[in-house]
Amino acid sequence: MVKALFLLLAISRASGFLDLETGWRQLELQAGVHSISSGYLDFNPLDTRIQMRLTQLRPDDDLRFGIDYEFFEEEKRTSFVSSVNFDWHTKPGHKSGVFLHVGEDFSDCIENNPDMLAIPSFADIDINSDYTVELDRGRVRGSFKDGCEKADDGSDTWRSWKRSMDKIRKMSVKLTDSKFLGPEITLNDFFTLEYRLVHACPIGTFLSDRVGVCLDCDADHFSTGGYPNSCNRCPYGSYVPSGVGFSEMNCTFWYSCPGGYYQDYTGRCVPCKAGHYSAGEDALFCHPCPVDSFSESGARRCTECPWGTGVETEMGRSIDDCQELIVEESGATAICKAVPFIQAMLVSAYCLL
């Protein structure tokens, strides 16, 4: 047990703090140290993404820092294959930059997409696609391909990048801040930087940011799988069970309700109110319970009140609503219905008239 604890601490120090529940690892710079790298992590570009989460702790100073995603071959870490590098400057007017592969500057190529150079709160690095980066949970995509295929020397950087991907089996994340920061200031005073590796989710599920696993979509939602942080809702009035919707085509406009429910004007199944019942299926309303019977919410059928008690139609919501019947001088039938069992024995002859 003690050895396992020391091993966990050693791993945490080598690769940053690890949240075992969500899979997030934190890169934390120490005072006077301007660079730190994660561990040498297994990475297959065909089914793995890197996610970065940056949390601002307080208003930033004049900070400059960079994130490097470095990729390697299987056997030796020194066998460098490719990299994606982002450099950010927090002071307005200072230019940030993005670099691909072995140092080619692509900052000018993506000026039409300034969000690529903004400091993101969340980013996906997906090197197995025609774009490379998804910022802010996929809402903004940055591409190195469109309009940026040629490097300054005329080489086809994009194709070279794609060819090198076949060799990638390992990766690391590196955080570097400016050496001009004072010894009493570190980047982590202003930002918390975390990263994690995630695998593609199957259809009908989404990647939870809270627990770090793939969870089923809620009912009436669908997902094509992959790396979504949420599921898509079915068109208005259509439905699909939880975890089985993989496209909008799975959303149907017919829905069978269980007993004790009815379909409202949108087609959704709604439970019957207390004092009502329904056989379900395509029922459009619930029936009121007959006289001298009751039901709780969502009832398939009504229950008769105990002998000698009763309640008006629709008013019986529980057995407590069944009250002893009041004798009314309105004829023999009312009297016979109201008298208790022992009294009924004494007046049975009258009641049989």
Query: Which of 154, 180, 199 lies at the terminal end of a domain, its last residue?
Result: 199
Whether residue 277 sits in one domain with residue 295: yes
The rounded distance, in Å, linking the Cα atoms of 250 and 239 is 8
Per-residue tokens: 40: 């040498």
Q: Which residue has the higher pLDDT, 339 or 117?
A: 117
Contact 144, 109 (CB under 8 A): yes
With a pLDDT cut of 70, the percent of the chain lying above it is: 76
Task: Kindly state whether residues 37 and 160 are assigned to the same domain.
Answer: yes
> What's the pLDDT at 327?
58
Residue 232: pLDDT over 90: yes
265 and 236 share one domain: no
Q: Are residues 139 and 242 in the same domain?
A: no
Q: 286: pLDDT confidence band, cut at 50, 70 and 90? A: very high
C-alpha 155: how far from chain center: 41
Q: What angle do CA 281, 283, 285 make, to 5 degrees?
A: 145
Tens digits of residue pLDDT in 243-253: 888 988 888 76
Pick the last residue of a domain from 175, 199, 223: 199
* Residue finishing a domain among 182, 199, 216: 199
The residue length of the chain stands at 353
Q: Token pair for residue 90?
A: 């927090």
**Neighbour count for residue 45 (Cβ, 10 Å):** 21
Place of tokens 């049975």: 348
pTM of the full predicted structure?
0.61
> Which CATH number do you get for residue 92?
2.60.120
Report whether pLDDT(337) > 70.
Answer: no
* Alpha-carbon distances of 229 from 11, 98, 195, 211, 232, rounded to whole Å: 28, 25, 15, 12, 10
Is residue 229 located within the same domain as residue 156? no
User: Are 195 and 238 found together in one domain?
Assistant: no
CATH code where residue 273 lies: 2.10.50.10
Give Cβ neighbours of residue 120 (< 8 Å, ≥ 6 apart): 52, 54, 135, 136
Mean model confidence pLDDT for the chain? 78
Task: Using the structure block, give the residue that is written with the tokens 């993506």.
Answer: 110
% of the chain at pLDDT higher than 90: 26
Q: Could you read off the pLDDT of 82-105 as tens digits, one per residue?
A: 888 899 988 888 888 888 776 677
Q: Are residues 51 and 123 in the same domain?
A: yes
Q: What is the pLDDT of residue 293?
A: 94
Shared domain for 224 and 275, answered yes or no, is no
Tell whether 192 and 235 lie within a shared domain.
no
Same domain for 116 and 147: yes
As for how many domains the chain has, the answer is 4
CA 132-41-146 angle, to 5 degrees, is 10
Which residues are within 8 A (CB) of 277 and not within 5 positions of it... i.e. 6 or more apart?
260, 286, 287, 289, 295, 299, 300, 301, 302
How far is residue 267's CA from residue 239's CA, in Å, rounded to a whole number?
Answer: 9
- Residue 289: pLDDT above 70? yes
Q: Are residues 20 and 160 in the same domain?
A: yes
User: Which residue pairs, CB below 8 angstroms and at least 24 apart, start in 116-122?
Assistant: 116/140, 116/142, 117/88, 119/54, 119/88, 119/90, 120/52, 120/54, 121/53, 121/54, 121/55, 121/56, 122/51, 122/52, 122/53, 122/54
Report the alpha-carbon distance of residue 269 to residue 257 in Å, rounded: 6
Mean pLDDT confidence for 145-158: 60
pLDDT in tens, 243-280: 888 988 888 766 677 788 888 877 677 889 999 999 88
CB < 8 Å & 24+ apart, contacts of 11-20: 11/39, 14/39, 15/39, 15/41, 16/194, 19/194, 19/212
Range of the domain at 348: 327-353
User: Do 173 and 260 share a domain, yes or no?
Assistant: no
pLDDT of residue 192: 92
